[in-house]
Amino acid sequence: MTKKKLRSQEWYGRTGKDGFIYRSWMKNQGFPHHLFEGDKPVIGICNTWSELTPCNAHFRDLAEALKRGIWEAGGFPLEFPVMSLGECSIKPTAMLFRNLASMDVEESIRANPMDGVVLMCGCDKTTPSLVMGAASVDIPAMVLSGGPMLVGRFKGKKIGTSDIWRFAEEYKLGKLSQEEFIEAESAMSRSVGHCAPMGTASTMAGMVEALGLSLPDNATIPAADSRRKVLAHMTGIRIVEMVKEDLKMSQILTRKAFENAIMVNAALGGSTNFILHLTAIAKRIGVPLDLEDFDHFSSKIPLIANVQPSGENWVEDLFYAGGLPAVMKEIQKFLNTDAITANGKTIGQNIEKAECYDRNLIGTVENPIKPESGIAVLKGNLCPNGAVLKPSAASPHLLTHTGRAVVFENIDDFKARIDSPELDIDETCVMVMKNVGPKGYPGMPEVGNMALPKKLLEAGVKDMIRISDGRMSGTGYGTVVLHVSPESAIGGPLAFVQNGDMIALDVPARSLNLLISDEEMEARKAGFKPLVLPYERGYVNLFLDKVNQAHEGVDFDFLQGSSGSEVKRDSH
């Protein structure tokens, strides 16, 4: 291995005034001079700790374990904060700010003296934003996830985030009191960590492990388990070695790695948000990936992990059953086992000794938890650039269905009318919501799994087809068509659906069509005016101007690709 001059020496290795300035202020933290002499890789710890992001609120503590590993391996850890996106608090939706956070990460890494970086990720958008930003710089990088919270317990039963939708329905029907509702809040969130089911946070943690950006078991070790700190410590040791090996993100994030991530996501029954984020990451690192790849590579993979919302259990249980390596082992014959990972080993080597300890949690290809999983990508005159549906979360009897459209023009219209006794709707209808796409809301919120009308819930209806250009929470479920592209706000065909139109969904044929003639569609398009939202300045204005559509990953057009790690202009 040839010893390469460390990138950080462009700062700390300078002589004269510049070197003085780069080092002197750092020394006010009590760092001795030898740390700057060029034989200790500077490892940035990109920390999304925030008390406003409760899923990441334990990250200061976790960072200490990570630092211990970095020191032990002869590195020099320096922690820095970046924008943290707390899914449960940020209005109108954390997705609106994913790209902004990624810009913060990208520029923070490039502009500062670091040789490698560990991305501390947890709550949903904190993973893709950090990976996207780091990918556009491309220095050695690893992900350390915060881990899932312990499963909640309420009235003797295990509960997690997916139960919120059920509690909300029971509360709506008067089956759960206000006091019980509040008690359930505390019972569900009883430990540090992100959501307990296979929601978007754990989907993202699984994604980085499948991509090879983390050490094995990153996806499932509970946040409260001491082994999460051991993982942090080992990540610290390994990132220093990665810098010495000059193993960059682009060497790990190959086309093979992306194919693996899609297959593993299917085995996990992961969130549909995965599609948007993986697409955006691929475009940053320059790997070709389109919507059809998600269908193609996931179609042969059944549901292996019995975890909510597609299954019955929680990510904590999956860890005890063998974790992600054991899941990957079951689909080994499909995976690109020669894909290299952050620990320098291949995926095949990493899962070689993996074992399943509980067949209730981890199925096999021959005897899966559910035969169908993954992502169905739909095409048709309602979604020329695609739409997606998660078969494992859908009702089998609705996967081929033609029904009458009940249209809501936007989220406010939906909220105002959904529970009206006058609403002309039955369980055979298709609920359509417009203007919740990237530009239409803006930010593409997780409202696609629209709550069913109260009168149908009271009648015992459990699921209906719902179609929108929005997203769905990773913990959501139902026969929900999402990410319709192009979106209605810019004149996608969804904008022209009218009450009473017939819509045909045929998931086996991968089609979604509005049953009107081409002439009628053209006539409806005439005179369309794009939605004009009242944002004249600031970040949201930039978002509306630059964001691309769902099938392209909802990234900004000018952020695709990488600018590398070189700083073009020097300071001082």
Residues of the shown chain interacting with ligand FES in the complex, contacts defined by CB under 6 A: 55, 87-88, 123-124, 161, 194-195, 199, 201
Show Cβ contacts of residue 294 under 8 Å, excluding neighbours closer than 6 positions.
262, 275, 278, 374, 375, 377, 388
Q: Which is nearer to ligand FES, 88 or 504 (CB)?
A: 88
Distance of CA 39 to the CA centre of its chain: 36
For 271, which DSSP code?
A: -
In the complex with ligand FES, the residue whose CB is nearer, 201 or 234, is 201
- Rounded least distance, CB 148 to ligand FES, Å: 8
- Least distance in angstroms from the C-beta of 208 to ligand FES: 14
Helix (H, G, I), strand (E, B) or coil at 506: strand
> CB of residue 11 vs ligand FES: minimum separation in angstroms?
35
Q: How many CB atoms lie within 10 A of CB 152?
A: 21
Name the H helices within 198-254.
200-211, 226-245, 249-252
Residue among 177, 201, 296, 233 nearest 62 (CA)? 233
Report the candidate in 73, 45, 69 with the shortest Cα–Cα distance to residue 59: 45
CB atoms within 10 A of CB 451: 18
Can you tell me which residue has the tokens 């390994």? 238
Nearer to ligand FES, 40 or 194 (CB): 194
> For residues 195 and 512, which CB has a smaller minimum distance to ligand FES in the complex?
195
Q: Measured from the CB atom, is 116 or 448 closer to ligand FES?
A: 448
Radius of gyration, alpha carbons of the chain: 24
CB of 224 to ligand FES, least distance (A): 15
* DSSP H helical ranges for 73-217: 98-111, 126-135, 163-172, 178-188, 200-211
CB distance 223 to 149 below 8 Å: yes
Report the nearest approach of ligand FES to the CB of residue 167 (Å): 15
Beta carbon of residue 268, minimum distance to ligand FES (angstroms, whole number) = 15
Least distance between ligand FES and beta carbon 371 (Å): 28
Name 33's Cβ contacts closer than 8 Å, sequence gap at least 6. Answer: 23, 27
State which residue, 42 or 188, has the beta carbon closest to ligand FES.
188
Our CB check for ligand FES shows the closer of 198 and 243 to be: 198
Task: Between 199 and 216, name the residue whose CB sits nearer to ligand FES.
Answer: 199
Question: What's the distance, Cα to Cα, between the start and end of the chain in Å?
Answer: 34
In three-state secondary structure terms, 452 is coil
Residues 253, 342 contacting (CB under 8 angstroms):
no
| Smallest distance from ligand FES to CB 397, Å | 30
Are 260 and 335 a contacting pair, CB within 8 Å? yes
Q: How far is the CB of 46 from ligand FES (least distance, A)?
A: 18
